[in-house]
Structure 1
Amino acid sequence: MTSPYTRGDSISSGASRDHIKQALLDYGATDVLVSQRGNRSAIAFRGGGRQFRIVVSMPHSDGTLLLAGDIAQGPLRDAKAKVLDRAIRRFWHALAVSIDAKLGAATAGVATLESEFLAHVVLPGSRTVLEELEPVIDSAYRSGRHPLFGASAPSLPGLSATI
């Protein structure tokens, strides 16, 4: 059985955000910014000659927490608030662990910063790779046809597509 600490329940969201910022700075990233608007949060930074932006949807209430004058105020409302707070703490902790793993892989030379955060690379025009490719991938799966990404590269003789 896991303890609350290993699940991230006991670590504040702020501590996890601070950990993410410090880990990125320790890696050598610059212009690290964490922001929030509504139930969406973003982490932006520069590193390896690229800009990155990670946008995540935070766990949120089903709307029943903030109904003023509702009979659910009191113990039930407090219980729901605690559950939501714990979910948000776990979310930030999991994101911090994920970013630590990506930075660890890049530091060890197992991968590059760009390959670990490829979906979050900001392209000219301010959209991320994920924002650009997600509709293309969805369309390919719906149609069953291989998507065409720009000019198709010629095959090299003797190079197999599978490993």
Structure 2
Amino acid sequence: MTTNYVRGASASSADSRAEIVGLLSRHGASGVRCISEQRRTTIVFSSGDRQFRLLLTGPAGFPDETDDSGREKAARRRWHTLALLVKAKLEAVNADIVTFEEEFLAYTVLPNGRTVFENTQQAISRAYAADSSVPLEARP
């Protein structure tokens, strides 16, 4: 028996890209676009009054795969993994485990053009560097 992962591993990058666009569109996202340039692809879309941006880089980051065949395999793996990630996020939303906004918070584009992650990553690192004794108990 073949698992979805094995079947997906042989899917082309274009197949996984189309799957991501379809998943987002079926879950209410609008204006879904993929913009590729210089070994990076930006996936942008809107949901409600928010805009979101996912970035997929590579496969230039795989130094041991220098031939075209190796780069294509790496690209296929990265696109397939991103499709699995988006699908899992949307499944969690459908199951009412999280809201769409919670699950895609890091990718929300703020009015300054940066994502929430880009805007907060340094502040979070500084906060942890200043005090690493973060309590793990749940807060109301």
TM-score after normalising by structure 2: 0.83
| Residue in 1 that maps onto 2:115 | 128
1:104 aligned to 91, 98, 117, which one?
A: 91
**Superposed structure 1 runs of 4+ greater than 4 Å apart:** 2-5
| Residue in 1 that maps onto 2:35 | 35
Deviation by residue 1:71-123 (Cα, 9 ceiling, x = unmatched): xxxxxxxxx22122111101000100110111111122111111111100111
| Residue in 1 that maps onto 2:25 | 25
Partner SS state of residue 59, structure 1 = coil
Counterpart of 2:71, as a letter, is L
Counterpart of 2:55, as a letter, is V
**1:86 counterpart = 2:73:** yes
Partner SS state of residue 36, structure 1 = strand
TM-score after normalising by structure 1: 0.72
| Residue in 2 that maps onto 1:45 | 45
Counterparts of 1:132 and 1:5 in 2: how far apart (Å)? Answer: 34
Counterpart of 1:13, as a letter, is S
Q: Tell me, which stretches of 5 or more residues in structure 2 are unaligned?
A: none
Alignment identity in percent?
A: 38
Counterparts of 2:123 and 2:18 in 1: how far apart (Å)? Answer: 35
Say if 1:10 and 1:119 are closer, same or farther in 2 by CA, change over 3 A: same
Counterparts of 1:54 and 1:39 in 2: how far apart (Å)? Answer: 14
| Residue in 2 that maps onto 1:162 | 137
Deviation by residue 1:140-159 (Cα, 9 ceiling, x = unmatched): 2333379xxxxxxxxxxxxx
Aligned pairs for 1:71-82 within 5 A: 80-82=67-69
The answer to whether the Cα contact below 8 Å between 1:106 and 1:116 also exists between their aligned partners in 2 is: yes
Q: Tell me, which stretches of 5 or more residues in structure 1 are unaligned?
A: 66-79, 147-160
Counterpart of 2:85, as a letter, is S
Counterparts of 1:38 and 1:100 in 2: how far apart (Å)? Answer: 26
Counterparts of 1:127 and 1:142 in 2: how far apart (Å)? Answer: 23
Counterpart of 2:88, as a letter, is A
